[in-house]
């Protein structure tokens, strides 16, 4: 059974097996969570990202996909980079946001991670409305939770984001169904 927990705070301060990064397809850093992870995790993460670009993702990591690197100096074993969709008011891109959570969890499970911290992907610079982003996040993780992941921790930066996730979690229920 995988538990879903909520924390208000900075994802780079979490002690977990894997921290998910809301990256962009270049994998070479940016603002928001991405900037914070690279700043606090040190240059080893960028170096590993450059290797990923050179080996598997010459064109960049596609939106909705996920790939892992070292966590550098963070209190975690891996950073799992995923690229959320940019919000569009005219096109429904929610399948790509679902894919981010699903793919990041799959990578985490393949690595053997027991605890995984997620930010609210796409809800910052990429402009996804927080209420919808929270619903998609909670629902997808609840449906996709996979052995050996024991805890998925959503780390929300502010009170508003925390509130939206709490509401989404209350609507969905805190735990995955057995089996």
The answer to whether the CB of 33 falls within 8 A of the CB of 9 is no
| Residue 29 to residues 20, 38, 172, Cα–Cα distance (Å) | 14, 7, 33
* 75 a catalytic residue: no
The residue range among 9-17, 43-51, 69-77, 91-99 that interacts with ligand AR6, by the rule CB under 6 A, is: 9-17
157 is an interface residue for ligand AR6 by CB under 6 A: yes
Task: Return the range that interacts with ligand AR6 (CB under 6 A); candidates 8-16, 104-112, 136-144, 162-170.
Answer: 8-16
In the set 10, 34, 110, 158, the catalytic residue is 34
User: Smallest gap, in angstroms, from Cβ of residue 148 to ligand AR6?
Assistant: 24
- Number of residues lying near ligand AR6 (CB under 6 A): 24
Residue 30 found at the interface with ligand AR6 (CB under 6 A): yes
Q: Is 23 in the site for ligand AR6 (CB under 6 A)?
A: yes
What is the Cα–Cα distance from 153 to 149, expressed in whole angstroms?
11
Residues 48-87 close enough to bind ligand AR6 by CB under 6 A: 84
Q: Is 120 in the site for ligand AR6 (CB under 6 A)?
A: yes
Write the burial class of residue 11 (CB in 10 Å: 0-12 exposed, 13-18 middle, 19+ buried).
buried
| Range list of H helices, the chain | 32-41, 43-55, 94-111, 130-144, 159-172
Q: Quick one: which segment of 6-14, 67-75, 90-98, 168-176 binds ligand AR6 (CB under 6 A)? A: 6-14
Nearest residue to 119 via CA among 23, 43, 17, 39: 23
Residues labelled catalytic: 34
């Amino acid at each position: 059974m995988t538990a879903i927990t909520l924390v208000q705070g900075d994802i780079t301060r979490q002690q977990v097996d894997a921290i998910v990064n809301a990256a962009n397809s270049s994998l070479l850093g940016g603002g928001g969570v991405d900037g914070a992870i690279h700043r606090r995790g040190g240059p080893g993460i960028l170096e590993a990202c450059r290797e990923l670009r050179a080996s598997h993702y010459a064109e960049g990591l596609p939106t909705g996909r996920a790939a892992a690197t070292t966590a550098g100096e963070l209190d975690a074993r891996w950073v799992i980079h995923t690229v959320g969709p940019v919000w569009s008011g005219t096109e429904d891109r929610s399948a790509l946001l679902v894919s981010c959570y699903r793919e990041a969890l799959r990578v985490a499970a393949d690595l053997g991670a027991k605890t995984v911290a997620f930010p609210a992907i796409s809800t910052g610079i990429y402009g996804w409305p927080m209420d919808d982003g929270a619903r998609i996040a909670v629902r997808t993780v609840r449906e996709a939770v996979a052995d050996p992941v024991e805890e998925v921790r959503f780390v929300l930066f502010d009170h508003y984001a925390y509130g939206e996730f709490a509401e989404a979690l209350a609507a969905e229920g805190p735990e995955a169904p057995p089996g």
